[in-house]
Amino acid sequence: MANVLVVDDEDNIRELLGRFFASYNHEVSQAANGARALELIKGGKAFDVVLTDWRMDEVDGLELLKAIKTDSPDTPVVLMTAYGTIDNAVTAMKTGAFDYLTKPLKLPQVQLVLDRALEVSSLRSQNRALRDVISGTPLLVTKSRKFQAVIEDAHLAASSDSTILLTGESGTGKNVFARQIHDWSNRRQNPFVTINCANISEHLVDSELFGHVQGAFTGAAKNKRGRVEAADRGTAFLDEISELPVSLQIKLLRFLQDGRFERVGGLQTIQVDVRIIAASNRDLIKEIAEGRFRADLYYRLNVISLRVPPLRDRPEDVVALAERFLTEAKTRNRRSRLRYSQDVIRIMMMYTWPGNIRELRNVVERAVVLSRGDTIAKEDLPDSMFDPELANSEHPPVDYSLDKMEEEHIKRVLLYAPTFEEAAQMLGITTATLWRKRKLYHIE
C-alpha cells in the first residue's frame, strides 16, 4: 500500500483517481489546488507519489513540483494536463517531474506510471537509509526552535577546545550529539573515543581511562594505553560521568587542568591533547549535595553546558523521526512497502515518549517486525503507549501543572490537525477559544 496525493481542481478527476487507487489498497489524499497540497505536505505527512494537474489557480502544478523538489527531492511527481505538447513535456522533465500524463487519462497508463514511480520511491528510500546507516548521519534535523538553539550553540562551541557538558534525560541522543560536535570541530580527522563510565567495573575504571603498566595488578601482563591516551589529538566522550567513582574524580580533575596523567602503577607522566565532552542524565548539583560528585570537577566540566531536550518538548519532530526509523527498519527487515496508518501517526503524536528517541526507535523496530500486513496498525504498538501505568516513568516531566499539560496537548493537536478549525473540533472547543489559548501559551 502506498500514500498517494492527487491534486486537481476538477472534482471528477480527483474522485476517479481516488477510487482507482483505493481499489489497489493505496491510501489516497486529495487536494483541490496547489496551495492545499502544500499545506498537506508541510503538515508532516509523507507521500510516496504526487499526481498533480498542471493548470490551477494560485499555485499551479509546475510551482508545486518545484516546492516538492525543494522540500522532498526524492518524492516522484507526475504532472497531468489537458494541454499536452512536447514543450510542456520537456519543461516538466527538466523541472524534475517523474513523468507526464495527458488528459483524458487512460487508467492502465496511470497504473503503469504509478507502479514505476513507487518502485523508484522504494529504491530511493532504501538507498537513503543505507547511506544513513553507513555514514552514521546524526538525528539532529529538527523543527523545534528550542533544539535549534542548542544545536547552534553546539556548532559555535565545536570550534573551540573547551570542555562541554551535555545534560538531558536518557535516550535523548547525547552520544549522537557528542559525535556531531567532534565532527564539526578541527579534531574531526582524529579519534573520537567513547567511555561509558557506567559500564566499567569500579576496580578497572582507572586502568580503562588512563591505562596501566605491566605488573600494576594481577592480570596486568603488559603495558596498556588507556582510552584517554587513545583519544590523543581527538575527543574523549565521557558518558554517564556521574557514575565515575569519587576516588577517580580527583585524577580526572587534574587531567582536565593540565592534560597530564600517570598510568596505573607507572611513574612516567604522560601528556596528551584531548578535548573532553562529558554527559549525564542525572542532576549533578544534587549529586554534589549528596556527596557523590565533586563540586570542583563539576565546575571544571561545566565550561559550556548544553541541555538536550526530551522528545516530549519537540513534538514537531516525532513524525519525521518515526519516518526515518521506519525507513531504516524496513531496509534491515526487507519490508519495503510497510507504512504507518493514520491512527498510528496520531497516537505517536499524542504520546509523551518517556524513553525519548531511544524508545521511539525501539517502538518502530518492534512494529516493523510484528506487523502482519503492509500497514503498521495501532495493534502493533506496545501496551505501554496506551496504559500510563506500564510506561517507563523513570524520567517524568518536571512540570505537572495542568496549564503545562494543556499547552503540550494543544501543540500536538495543532501539529496533527490539517486545519485550525479541525484542531478546535478535536479539542472540543471553539476556534475563538483555541485562538485565545494559542496567545496565552505563545504557540505559533
What is the distance between the alpha carbons of residues 99 and 117, in angstroms, rounded to a whole number? Answer: 9
Q: Can you name the residues that pair with 305 across neighbouring β-strands?
A: 165
CB-based contacts of 180, cutoff 8 Å, min separation 6: 138, 140, 154
Residue positions counted in the chain: 444
Block residue for cell numbers 584531548: 274
Averaged pLDDT for residues 201-225: 87
The residues pairing with 307 across neighbouring beta strands, listed in sequence order, are 167
Report pLDDT digits (tens) over 310-319. 999 998 899 8
β-pairing, 192-196 vs 275-280, is unpaired
Report pLDDT for 396.
46
**What is the dihedral sign for C-alpha 415, 416, 421, 427?**
negative
Per-residue pLDDT of 336-368, as tens digits, reads: 788 899 889 989 988 989 899 999 999 999 999
Contacts of 49 (CB under 8 A, 6+ apart): 2, 3, 4, 5, 75, 76, 77, 78, 98, 114, 117, 118, 121
Residue 262 to residue 250: CA distance in whole angstroms: 13
The domains of the chain, with CATH numbers, are 3-135 (3.40.50.2300), 145-309 (3.40.50.300), 312-441 (1.10.8.60)
Mean pLDDT of 303-309: 95
pLDDT 10s digits, 70-103: 877 888 999 888 776 667 667 777 778 888 888 8
- pLDDT digit string, tens, across residues 99-143: 888 888 888 889 998 888 888 877 776 666 555 554 545 567 788
- Non-local (6+) Cβ contacts of 7 within 8 A are 30, 31, 32, 33, 34, 36, 37, 50, 51, 52, 53, 56, 61, 64
Omega before 396 within 30 of 0, i.e. cis:
no
409, pLDDT greater than 80: no
pLDDT of residue 400: 47
pTM for the structure as a whole: 0.62
Predicted local confidence at residue 194, as pLDDT: 93
Cα radius of gyration (the chain) = 27
Given pLDDT bands bounded at 50, 70 and 90, which one contains residue 46?
A: confident
Q: What integer is the mean pLDDT of 57-71? A: 82
170 CB burial (10 A radius; 0-12, 13-18, 19+): middle
Check residues 292 and 41 and name the one with the higher pLDDT: 292
Model pLDDT, residue 132: 56
**pLDDT attached to residue 37:** 86
| Averaged pLDDT score across all residues of the chain | 85
